[in-house]
Amino acid sequence: MTAIAPFSPRILPLLKAPGRDDDTSMTLDGEGLRCIETGESYPFLRGIPSLYHPSPEEGADVTARIRSFYEETPFPSYEGLEEFGELVSKGQSNPFSRQLLDAIGYNKLVLECGCGTGQLSHFLQLNNNHTLGIDLSLASLGLAVEHKTRNQLTRASFCQMNIFELAIKDDSFDVVISHGVLHHTFDARRAFASIVRKCKPGGIVMVGLYNKPARFPTWLRSKLIRTFGPKIDYVVRNRIKDARKADVWIKDQYFNPHETWHSIGEVLGWFKENDIEFLNCSPAIMDTDGETAGGLFDRTGPGGSYRRAVTQASWLATIAREGALFDVIGRRMA
Ligand SMILES: C[S@@+](CC[C@H](N)C(=O)[O-])C[C@H]1O[C@@H](n2cnc3c(N)ncnc32)[C@H](O)[C@@H]1O
């Protein structure tokens, strides 16, 4: 495979040395990254750029368990998506990723926190966007970089980082996404506060989390899956053809070492704490203009607590069978 630069020229200037409050700048040298101000070197690990810095002490145990889980089980699996054309066609046929790319538009800087194997980051670098995917897991990032190199995706960059200690300058990205990640951290609220700082004022923040109560049926199935086997899962029965891909999905859903569940109201509280204006929710909140919104980033109403409760109860019959992820989208106030 032909070598390719690890960082796009629009992403490298946004990096800083990990574990420091000041905005130092980074450069590439032969073996890895180097801080221009301090001269400190950050070598690539297994060929992956790494600016990893440990979690605060109280979260170190969860971070270590999650890290070792995703080192063994990189998610999502690439099976059948090795060529970029296949990944694009999957992204275009998935309403969520298609709407997301449409809403992001062109020439944007996109940060994906907890990118896993990088499939979404690769899809979103279409339209001349430049993406940075960060993750704890070197095994996942290894697959992301392999796919990037095979398909020569120069606008997608990847780096090992910890969400709690992001080695990224504040106010840098037009769009910050974290989909299916923060509920695997020791403190989702604190992780949210960490990622929003990387969004430019006026930029978009999107967070996808396991929903309370819609995650309850998955918990119930986790108690039964050893007896009844993987076919108990709707996605395995109806969507996944490949055995390895099904195995990765089952481990991620039913054998994960740490997860928490969250409500729309709770995320609205995080938005308030971090000066984020609510724009939209996916799936939409019932009987609000979210149901008719043309685009994912359109400004809609959050509804009252009764509507949100009814919406979340209704998700027991919809998203509950596919992992119970909901996304809340907001704009960082200027
Ligand atoms: C379920 S996967 C989601 C991957 C991808 N976002 C997706 O939707 O397919 C969760 C990912 O979050 C990453 N992760 C969890 N805690 C993290 C942390 N503190 N810092 C960076 N990444 C983290 C894991 O390594 C894993 O790759």
For ligand 1, say whether the CB of 180 is within 6 Å of any of its atoms.
Answer: yes
Q: Could you give the C-alpha distances from 239 to 77, 211, 231, 298, 320, in angstroms and in order?
A: 14, 21, 11, 30, 15
Domain identity same for 163 and 137: yes
pLDDT in tens, 61-116: 999 999 999 999 999 988 877 789 999 999 999 999 999 999 999 999 999 999 99
Quickly state the pLDDT bin for 2 (edges 50, 70, 90): confident
Distance 304 CA to ligand 1 centre (A): 31
Domain identity same for 67 and 98: yes
- Where among 253, 281, 299 does a domain terminate? 253
Percentage of the chain exceeding pLDDT 90: 94
pLDDT on residue 79: 81
- Sequence length of the chain is 334
What is the C-alpha to C-alpha distance for residues 180 and 177, in angstroms, rounded to an integer? 10
Helix (H, G, I), strand (E, B) or coil at 134: strand
Any idea which residue has 């001269």 for tokens? 39
How many structural domains are present in the chain? 2
Which atom in ligand 1 lies closest to the alpha carbon of residue 74? 27
Domain identity same for 81 and 187: yes
In a domain, 6, yes or no: no
In a domain, 17, yes or no: no
Distance 164 CA to ligand 1 centre (A): 12
Alpha helices in 35-150 (DSSP H): 60-72, 84-93, 95-104, 119-124, 138-150
User: How high does pLDDT run on average in the chain?
Assistant: 96
Domain identity same for 156 and 55: yes
Nearest to 165 by CA among 16, 13, 44: 16
Backbone angles phi, psi at 8, to 5 degrees: -75, 155
For ligand 1, say whether the CB of 221 is within 6 Å of any of its atoms.
Answer: no
Cα torsion angle, 69, 320, 95, 265, sign: negative
Domain identity same for 156 and 236: no
**Burial per residue of 279-315, b for 16 or more beta-carbon CB atoms within 10 angstroms, e otherwise:** bbbbbbbbebebeebeebbeebebbeeebbbebbeeb
For ligand 1, say whether the CB of 178 is within 6 Å of any of its atoms.
Answer: no
Domain identity same for 178 and 101: yes
What is the C-alpha to C-alpha distance for residues 112 and 132, in angstroms, rounded to an integer? 6
Domain with 322 in it: 47-216+254-332
Distance 185 CA to ligand 1 centre (A): 9
Domain identity same for 175 and 310: yes
280: CATH: 3.40.50.150
Quick check: 267 and 328 in contact, CB under 8 A?
A: yes
**Cβ of 156: how many Cβ atoms within 10 Å?**
28
Domain identity same for 98 and 163: yes
Nearest to 62 by CA among 161, 132, 164: 164
For ligand 1, say whether the CB of 139 is within 6 Å of any of its atoms.
Answer: no
Q: What is the pTM of this model?
A: 0.97
Backbone angles phi, psi at 304, to 5 degrees: -95, 180
pLDDT in tens, 209-267: 999 999 999 999 999 999 999 999 999 999 998 999 999 999 999 999 999 999 999 99
**Cβ of 9: how many Cβ atoms within 10 Å?**
11
Quickly state the pLDDT bin for 56 (edges 50, 70, 90): confident
